[in-house]
Amino acid sequence: MKRPHQHEIDDRVCALLKLALPDEWVYRELPKDYGIDGEVEVFCQGRSTGVLFKVQVKGTEKPSFLTDGRTISFSLRTDHASYYCDELLVPVFLILVDIAKRRIWWHAIQLDTDLAQRLKTTRERGNETITVHINSENTLPDRPDVLLHRCSEMALLIAFRSVSTVSETSLLNTLSSIVEIDPTVQGLSRGLSYARFELLQRKWRSGDKRKAKALITEILKDKTAPLFAKVSALEMAELLAIENYRSIDKQELLPQVELRFAAEQKALCRSGPAQLRIHAALKRRIALLHAAIEHDYNLYLNTKLYEVTADRGMADPFWAMMLNPTRAEAARSVVVRYQHCMRLLDLAAENGEFYLVARDTAGVLFKMVNFLVRLRSEGMTQAVAFWEQRLEALAGAAISIAAKLEDWELASLLINSSLHIADMQQSVSLDKRMEWARKQAEQIPKHEVCKRLLDSLERDRSTALRLLADIEDAEPSIDEEKRMIRVMAMSLGIDLDNDQDEIANVVRIGLRDLDPTRVLKTCRHLFLALGSSGIPAVMLGLPTAGWKTLWCTLHNYGIGGMKLDDLHKWLVDEHCSTCADRHPFPESWTWNRDWQSEQHRRFGSRFPAV
């Protein structure tokens, strides 16, 4: 029996693909299963990166080029294209092989927005095939790094599919069906109001936080105090702790603070009424949502800093391949945590705990705003539109509930927090959200509360508009960059407060030396050369967490080491203290990156890190 010609072509194209892939990449053929021929696992420096993608390999004896000479036209089955673009949950590449000239092209089909738009029409018309346009510059074995970058983009896109598929239908239906609520039957609302002892409230509102803290401690230790009172006191203690961490610029620790207090509240309410147990569970879920959002944002910052390290020639290829799959998983984690919160809010609504729903919805909104910021930063317009719509509907329902409960302060809080659903960097989006917020404020009949809310909204709008002119080109300051690096270090499991952790010690040195003003301002002849650094420095984009050499460019003295202050002390003791050529900068001078780049251009080749 003669073997079919197409089978021979299939074997040849798969063999050519294997030869074109980097030596460390592993290609595995798969049973012919709905248009997938094989999978590729990516290794780097002998380590598995966890990056995996599928391939559909096609061979042709005469590729069809369009008139531009750069685009290849190829016909693909419509059902296969739909499977790749809409259903497959792993990255997939279409590989086209020119058998005659042994050329190989690849196409990231899940990123093909033109194909995705045409697919809908093609399916409606019942066409069995659809044309795919392939960029002839995407070739193998050339530039596998570009292919990997597209693979990472597809992994993120797939993650954002799940980001845009959650539903609060059950909760919103429950809330929208409520016509009237008797405020006097809301157990938690009454309990918390009763629990707020008059003295504690007076101290809290007057700003006497020291005495309020002492009263909180007394209430929590008092075995006869009502459970509602203890819950209220514990939440005030949490607000004090959060305020303290913010005052010392330790915002990165806030998710851990929230989780700690949520655990205490859960233990406190274990034998309490149902509404307090649900509230404690919600507190924990909201804290976990906050932690997931912070982790997602930290990885985004890591991506931005990685781009800087790549420009500096410090990029670690292994970390580059790991980063986007890790980010995709982090985005999915945010969605899962959000869904957990929605299920508990739904449970609270089903149990008639409407005050609880409105109150904790405010917590969810505050956290999700940060997720929206990250989505906007990366131009994820589809996901942004989805979440804006979802969060607006959720906020509107919660505001309506707060109004029916006649809790005007809570309604005001929800309206104010929902303002930040808008894109604060676009005046049109901000004005649209302001109009929505004003309409919501019409539900508040108390004139003084409504006026205070509208004044607050207008102040927020004015502040945001003032920032718009500068925010586009603003670069992070040294202090802001240090904070970002501390946050990322924490997300990578590096405890910067642990003096016994060697990696943490190296990172702390790098943070201190990130701004070398204190040393370099002592003499215009000093030049700092940065040398090799370890994996933590690469992952954090912190080049000063490594070897460095401090040079005198006038007399050719230099010394290398890790700590800039130690190097400077040696140079001063040995040479500078008696040097007649010492030429300090003015006291107001500060180091900046432009100055450093110019110094590197002048002295980098003569005075390397040694």
pLDDT digits (tens, 9 = 90+) for 7-45: 566 778 888 899 999 888 999 988 766 678 899 998 877
What is the pLDDT confidence band of residue 193, given thresholds at 50, 70 and 90?
A: very low
Is the whole model's pTM more than 0.75, yes or no? no
What is the pLDDT confidence band of residue 186, given thresholds at 50, 70 and 90?
A: very low
What is the pLDDT confidence band of residue 161, given thresholds at 50, 70 and 90?
A: low
Per-residue pLDDT averaged across 543-560, rounded? 89
Per-residue pLDDT averaged across 460-464, rounded? 55
Highest mean pLDDT among 80-89, 141-150, 226-235: 80-89
Per-residue pLDDT averaged across 48-65, rounded? 87
The C-alpha R_g of the chain, in whole angstroms, comes to 30
Distance CA 267, CA 269 (A): 6
Q: Is 47 left (phi over 0), alpha (psi -120 to 50) or beta?
A: beta
Highest mean pLDDT among 15-24, 230-239, 516-525: 516-525
pLDDT at residue 1 is higher than 70: no
Distance spanning both ends of the chain, measured CA to CA:
70
Which of 89-93, 296-300, 503-507 has the weakest average pLDDT? 296-300
The rounded mean pLDDT for the chain is 79
Per-residue pLDDT averaged across 307-314, rounded? 54
pLDDT the model gives residue 550? 93
Distance CA 495, CA 486 (A): 9
- Rounded to the nearest 10°, the torsion over CA 209, 211, 216, 219 is -160
User: For the chain, how many residues are written?
Assistant: 610
pLDDT the model gives residue 78? 92
pLDDT, tens only, 242-287: 888 777 767 777 888 889 998 998 998 888 888 888 888 999 999 9
Q: Tell me if 477 sits within 8 A of 486, measured CB to CB.
A: no
Per-residue pLDDT averaged across 222-227, rounded? 77
pLDDT the model gives residue 567? 92
Q: Pick 313 or 608 by higher pLDDT.
A: 608
Q: Pick 453 or 548 by higher pLDDT.
A: 548
pLDDT at residue 561 is higher than 50: yes
Which of 366-370, 382-386, 448-452, 517-521 has the weakest average pLDDT? 448-452
What is the pLDDT confidence band of residue 301, given thresholds at 50, 70 and 90?
A: confident
Query: How many CB atoms lie under 10 A from the CB of residue 226?
Result: 14
Output the six-digit token pair for 289: 């949502």
pLDDT, tens only, 335-362: 889 989 988 888 888 888 888 888 888 8
From the centroid of its chain, how far is CA 166? 19
Q: Is 418 exposed, middle or buried (0-12, 13-18, 19+ CB in 10 A)?
A: buried
pLDDT, tens only, 463-484: 544 544 444 444 567 777 777 7
Count the alpha carbons within 13 Å of 153 in the hemisphere toward its beta carbon. Answer: 16
What is the pLDDT confidence band of residue 103, given thresholds at 50, 70 and 90?
A: very high
pLDDT the model gives residue 191? 42
pLDDT, tens only, 482-493: 777 777 777 667
pLDDT the model gives residue 305? 66
Per-residue pLDDT averaged across 155-170, rounded? 64
Strand order in the sheet with 546-552: 526-533, 546-552, 557-561
Beta bridge partners of 596: none
Q: Tell me if 219 sits within 8 A of 212, measured CB to CB.
A: no
pLDDT at residue 133 is higher than 80: yes
